[in-house]
Amino acid sequence: MNPQALLSENTQLKSDLDAANILIDTLKNKALEREAHLDWLKRQLFGKRSEKLIEDKDIKQLRFEGFEVEKTKEKPSEIKPHKRKKPNKGADTIQIPDDLPIEKQTIDLPEDQKVINGEPLKKIGEEISSKLCYKPGSYYIKQIIRPKYKTPEGSIATAELPDSLLPRCRADESLIAQIITQKYVDHLPLYRISEILKRGDIHISRKTLCKWVNKAASALKPLHEILNKQILKSHNIFADETPIAMLKPGNKKTHQSYMWVIVGGQSSNPSNRAYHFRTSRAHIHIHEILENYQGNLHSDKYGAYQTLSKSPSIRWMPCWAHIRRKFFESRPSEVADEYLEKIKELFQYEELAWEQSPENRLIIRQEKQLPIIEEVIAKAKNEISSGKHLPKSNLYKALGYLLSLSPHLKNYLNKPEARIDNNVAERAIRPLALGRKNWLFAGSEEGGENAAILLSLVQTCQAHKINPQEYLEDIMRRIMGHNSQKLHELLPEAWAKEKAPPNTS
C-alpha cells in the first residue's frame, strides 16, 4: 500500500477512535447522571426522608473543656325568630334541634338604677337574646335574660348586652372560636365542618360559616398588625413562603398565589408568627412586608431574600439545612458524604453552643465552627475547579449552591441570637402544607388575607403551647371593649402570661 495512503488511513482511524472515546465518555457520564437521578427518585418514593446520617457520632464527643453543660341541664325553650325580619327559608337558614340544653344568664340593672325619684321601677317583661354556643363535647343555647323596666316617664330601661365581636350574630364567640380552630388548626374545610354540625342536627350552611369566619378575621385584623410590628421589632426574623391556589374572579379556575410568613420574638426560640397573603411570588411583596426592617434575616436562597441581603440594614443568614439537603440529594457519593459529615459537625457544635450563655456561644462558634466553614468553602472551590464532576450532576449543583452563598455563610457566627438554619420558618410553613391539601384554595384575595390574619393568631398560639380555642373565645369577648392603645395585651404571648398561675416559689 502506498505509504501516504497508509498514513492517511491511520490518521482517519485515530480520528475515529478519538471520536468513539469521546462518545463513550459522554454516554458514561449520561449513564452516571441518570443512575444518580434514578437513585434520588427511589429515595423519594421508597426511602427515608430524614437527612440524618446512619452513623451519627454522639454530640458528647464534640464537647470540650470549659463548656458543660363540667352544669345542670334545664328544660330547653324555643328560640324565636327576629321579629323585625322574616326568617330566610333559603339555604342560609340556621336550624337547631329543640332539645339542646339551655344555660340562662341574667343581666339586671344595678339596684340604684331601679329607683327613680324615690319610685321603684316596675318590671314589665324581659328581653331574651339567644345564641348558639359551644363547649368541648357539646352544644347548648345560652339565653341572656335582661329584665325590662318601665320608668315613670314611660320609657323602657334594660341592661346593656355584653360586648360582642359580631353583633346580632346567632353564633356565640365560643362557637366561632371552635370553627376557626377546626379550619386553621385541624385543617378542616368549612363544608366538612358544616357536615359535622349536621350530624348533631345543627344545620348551618358553608356560606354562613364562611361569612362568620371572614367577619371575625376583619374584626381581629388590628391584632395581626400589632403582632407583625412586634416581630419586626425583634431584629431577628425567619422568613419563608409557600404556594396557595386562589380562585380566579368570575370562573372556576385557580391561579398560584403565595402565603409568606415571618417569625420572630425576643425569646431564644421565636414563636410569634405573622402570615401575609399575596397574589404572586414577586420580590416586591417581601420587600413591602419587611419595609424599614433592620436586623437578622434567616431564609433560603430565593432571589427576593438575596436582593434584601444588599441592604445595609439587613444581615442575611442563609440556611445551612438547605445546603445539607443539596448534598444529601447527591448521594450515593463519597464526596457528598464528606461534606455531610462536616455539616453534621457544624450542627452538633451549634446544639452545644445553644446550651451556653450568649458570650460562650460566640466563643464556640469562632473556635470550632469557623474553621469548618472555611475548610468546606475551600474544598468546594477545589472540587469545582478540578473538572471531575459533571455540570449537570447533583453534586456539582450542590457545590455551586454552597459557593454562591459563601459570602454570607459566616454571618450567624457573630450574632448570638442568630441561628444556623431557617427551621423556625419551615415549621411555621408546615401547617399550610397540610391545610391546603384539605381546603385546596382561597376563594378570593380577601379570603386569603383573612386566612393570613387567623393563621397568624392560631399558629402563634400553637407555638406558645396555648389552646387556640380558649384564646380566641376569650379575646373575641374582650376586644370590642378593650383599650385600643393596649391591644398588644390581647396577643397570644401576653395573654399566656396573664393567664399563667402566680409563681408561689
Tell me: the pLDDT tens digits for 33-65? 677 667 767 766 766 656 666 455 555 556 565
Distances (CA, A) of 281 to 143, 160, 223, 233, 244: 48, 48, 25, 24, 10
Does the residue 364 lie in any domain? yes
Is position 293 within any domain? Answer: no
Give the pLDDT confidence score for residue 313 in this predicted structure.
92
Query: What are the grid coordinates assigned to 327, written together?
Result: 448534598
* Higher pLDDT pick, 376 / 21: 376
Identity of residue 298? H
Last residue of a domain, one of 162, 181, 213: 162
User: CB within 8 A of 368, min separation 6: which ones?
Assistant: 62, 64, 349
- 135 confidence band (pLDDT: 50, 70, 90): confident
- Do the bridges between strand 254-264 and strand 272-278 make them parallel or antiparallel, or are there none, so unpaired? antiparallel
**Average pLDDT over the chain, rounded to whole?**
86
The answer as to whether 336 is a domain residue is yes
Count of CB atoms within 10 A of residue 180's CB? 24
Q: How many domains does the chain have?
A: 2
Domain final residue pick, 107, 132, 162: 162
Whether residue 375 lies inside any domain: the answer is yes
Cα–Cα distance measured from residue 397 to residue 430, given in angstroms and rounded to the nearest whole number: 26
Cα separation, 157 vs 458, whole angstroms: 40
Going by pLDDT thresholds of 50, 70 and 90, the confidence category of residue 71 is very low
pLDDT tens for 286-312 read: 999 998 899 999 999 999 999 998 899
Per-residue pLDDT at 91: 62
pLDDT exceeding 90 applies to what percent of the chain? 60
pTM as predicted: 0.79
The answer to whether position 376 is within a domain reads yes
Strand 295-299 to strand 138-150: parallel, antiparallel, or no bridges (unpaired)? unpaired
Predicted confidence at residue 248, as pLDDT, reads 80
**Could you list the residue range(s) of the whole structural domain that residue 153 is in?**
91-162
Query: For residue 443, is it within any domain?
Result: no
Identify whether 479 is part of a domain. no
Query: Does residue 258 sit within a domain?
Result: no
User: Domain boundary residue among 372, 389, 421?
Assistant: 421
pLDDT category at 76 given cuts 50, 70, 90 is very low
- CB neighbour list of residue 402: distance below 8 Å, 6 or more residues apart: 323, 326, 339, 376, 377, 380, 409
Among 28-32, 72-76, 209-213, 404-408, the least confident range: 72-76
| pLDDT for 87 | 55
- Tens-digit pLDDT profile for residues 325-374: 999 988 888 899 999 999 999 999 999 999 999 999 999 999 999 999 99
**Cell numbers describing residue 234:** 425583634
